[in-house]
Amino acid sequence: MKSQIITEFGDPSVFQLSDIPKPTLLPGHVLIKVVATSVNQIDCKIRSGAVAAVSPVFPAVLQGDVAGIVDAIASDVTKFKVGDEVYGCAGGFIGTGGALAEYMLADVNLLAKKPHSLSMLQAAALPLVGITAWEALCQKANVKSGQTVLIHGGVGGVGHVAIQLAKTRGAIVYTTVLKPEDFALAKSFGADEVINAKEESVEAYVQRLTQNNGFDVVFDTVGGPNLDKSFAAAALNGVVATTAARSTHDLSIMHSKALSLHVVFMLLPIIKNKGRAAHGEIMSALTKVVDAGKLKLLIDPKQFTLATAADAHRWLESGKAQGKVVVSI
Amino acid sequence: MKSQIITEFGDPSVFQLSDIPKPTLLPGHVLIKVVATSVNQIDCKIRSGAVAAVSPVFPAVLQGDVAGIVDAIASDVTKFKVGDEVYGCAGGFIGTGGALAEYMLADVNLLAKKPHSLSMLQAAALPLVGITAWEALCQKANVKSGQTVLIHGGVGGVGHVAIQLAKTRGAIVYTTVLKPEDFALAKSFGADEVINAKEESVEAYVQRLTQNNGFDVVFDTVGGPNLDKSFAAAALNGVVATTAARSTHDLSIMHSKALSLHVVFMLLPIIKNKGRAAHGEIMSALTKVVDAGKLKLLIDPKQFTLATAADAHRWLESGKAQGKVVVSI
């Protein structure tokens, strides 16, 4: 089958369009005829070798997000049948194959039926960011109706999904963007208030929007010094959820406000092969939200194919993409 | 009324047995004829001036934990009537009076009916440690049946209550002690396994007791470097609750295991006068657990009175007390 493989870490030029054998079915797995995949920041980091812990064995097929058609099923699989349209984040790193190929071997625990209302390209944009936002807001922070929720990066991949999920829970949603021209876009996802984080300090917007009480829940997809800002923005007994906590912090502010911090590491069940079924369940839940018209995807308009996958990585890394970068296979 | 007051910070010799006016009733408050109080570490820190943020105005009456009889009620109070036996943690620091006096003014939101099955001395031992353990395990960590819970300091004030509350939730409870002679005592509160934390490393007991999976919930009342050990002891997606997070930590281990950290700062609703009713509700819930025979108090056998309150502080600070240090008024 045709695939993009890498045999060394590096910039996007390491991709090689190659013919490799179709993956062999394993128990509990299906073979997906890949129709689309999307590029996440983690895929670029894996490609560059920045995260050794999840590095695949060479030659490696990258990218986890997949949408496609079930082509073959293992004899013990009852969840899907050949011909089903499925989607999920099913690999692309240590111990798994990826979606930058005509066929992808995928653990059925990680998959769900694709939403009818999305194209394959749109569906491939959702899994990683959707599961991340769901784990953060619907599970760990457990956002409740009427709570105030601050979401950093409201026009980012995770952020735009997070705004919409928080709205489905009945929250009052505040979001930060970095450019005035992103205000309308963030509002279009349902944000009640949009903050220009380049122009206004945390102290100023906490005062202006919450009368200095802080937000019940803060979702931080940036990490590092931004995590301290998230602590500063949280209310007494508030909750901060983050996808990035690989840094050192004085927790005194957490103590003085009795905060909770939840780390979301979406890849963990895949890496550790533990609790994977939860991901399939989240994907099924996301399918319902999407088909109910409550979740739309922000897709960057540039078009990429398997042959131009390296360009898709370059485009995401340029920082100029607006929304998810998707690739047709 | 007779009371112990302090007019400066320092060692226990700063206490002065004095006659001061009875507190004046305020709306939403009752006047309690104090029968007993207990000494918590925070009371010693307030007395010594170690925690400026909650320091009272001089002359100050210290100690929050109280058990006694309602002596007078404000005209708007319907929750209690004169003669009711009540208990709670109702002050002893900034903006409130304390229990080291014949009468204590207390916000009814912080109080509940005393358990019938406890003496006044036993009842006075419970509020601060009981609310702390309840907030940590029953609210923030939300311990569920079948979960593994590690509680540090199983014969400490908070720890011995925490073991019993975790058992009421159906958890499998592991606890650390520092001396072999405390094993039987920790077991008597219901701990399924007791660990000698001086003799066995975190790595060793996580391997021995959880096959290296870690504990679902870790409750850390020690803080500082122990918090790092708690992160190390937690399972993937595990939860650490702590009463002490005024320190700086590399959160990478939280990231790599997708942990949650909950800070419990029990005094916060009292200090900020916000959400106090939750404390009264917890005290009511604790009354039910106690009267159902599911929670017993570890009381140090030494007897102290209002006149010897300074000795009670000395005894707690000596580190030799076994269980809660209580004072008859």
HEC secondary structure over B57-71: CCCECCCCEEEEEEE
Q: Which residues in A lie closer than 8 A to residue B212 (C-beta atoms)?
A: none
Q: What is the ipTM of this complex?
A: 0.95
Confidence (pLDDT) at A52? 79
Q: Give the strand pairing for A85-89 and A103-107.
A: unpaired
| Inside any domain, residue B9 | yes
A247 at B interface, C-beta within 8 A:
yes
Dihedral (C-alpha) A48, A51, A53, A54: value to the nearest 10 degrees?
-60
Say yes or no: A179 and A293 in one domain. Answer: no
Q: Do B259 and A263 touch (CB under 8 A)?
A: yes
Distance of CA B241 to the CA centre of its chain: 14
Sign of CA dihedral B265, B269, B270, B271: positive
Confidence (pLDDT) at A313? 98
Confidence (pLDDT) at B46? 93
Identify the residue among B213, B228, B255 best suited for mutation to test binding to A, counting A beta carbons within 10 A and taking the highest: B255
Q: Indicate the residue of A247, A248, A268 with minimum beta-carbon distance to B236.
A: A268
Confidence (pLDDT) at B267? 92
Q: What string of pLDDT tens digits covers the 329 residues of chain B?
A: 999 999 999 999 999 999 999 999 999 999 999 999 999 999 999 999 998 778 888 999 999 999 999 999 999 999 999 999 999 999 877 667 899 999 999 999 999 999 999 999 999 999 999 999 999 999 999 999 999 999 999 999 999 999 999 999 999 999 999 999 999 999 999 999 999 999 999 999 999 999 999 999 999 998 999 999 999 999 999 999 999 999 999 999 999 999 999 999 999 998 898 999 999 999 999 999 999 999 999 999 999 999 999 999 999 999 999 999 999 99
- Which of B226, B248, B263 finishes a domain? B263
Q: Indicate the residue of B255, B263, B264 with minimum beta-carbon distance to A263.
A: B255
Say yes or no: B222 and B121 in one domain. Answer: no
Those residues of chain A that have pLDDT short of 50 are none
Q: Do A236 and B140 touch (CB under 8 A)?
A: no
Q: Model pTM?
A: 0.95
Say yes or no: B63 and B178 in one domain. Answer: no
Which of A240, A205, A247 has its CA nearest to residue A223? A247
Confidence (pLDDT) at B95? 67
Name the minimum distance, in Å, from the CA of A211 to any CA of chain B: 15
Q: Which residues in B lie closer than 8 A to residue A258 (C-beta atoms)?
A: 263-265, 268
Confidence (pLDDT) at B69? 98
Say yes or no: A155 and A229 in one domain. Answer: yes
Q: Which residues contact A259 (CB under 8 A, 6 or more apart)?
A: A231, A234, A237, A238, A239, A240, A253, B263
Q: Indicate the residue of A246, A248, A255 with minimum beta-carbon distance to B245.
A: A255
| Inside any domain, residue B282 | no
Query: CA–CA separation, A47 vs A41, rounded Å?
Result: 10
Say yes or no: A239 and A309 in one domain. Answer: no
Confidence (pLDDT) at B92? 75
**Token pair recorded at residue B184:** 């039987």
Chains A, B: CB contacts within 8 A come to 84
Name the minimum distance, in Å, from the CA of A263 to any CA of chain B: 5
Say yes or no: A277 and A176 in one domain. Answer: no
- Which of A263, A288, A317 finishes a domain? A263
Cα–Cα distances in angstroms (integers) from residue A12 to residues A40, A62, A89, A183, A290, in the given order: 14, 12, 21, 32, 32
Say yes or no: B122 and B133 in one domain. Answer: no
Q: Which residues contact B166 (CB under 8 A, 6 or more apart)?
A: B137, B143, B149, B151, B173, B217, B219
Name the minimum distance, in Å, from the CA of A212 to any CA of chain B: 13
A51 at B interface, C-beta within 8 A:
no
Say yes or no: B87 and B195 in one domain. Answer: no
Q: Do A251 and B245 touch (CB under 8 A)?
A: yes
Confidence (pLDDT) at A142? 97
Identify the residue among A251, A253, A256, A266 best suited for mutation to test binding to B, counting B beta carbons within 10 A and taking the highest: A251
| Inside any domain, residue A300 | yes
Q: How many domains does chain A have?
A: 2
Which range marks the domain in which residue A200 is found?
Answer: 129-263
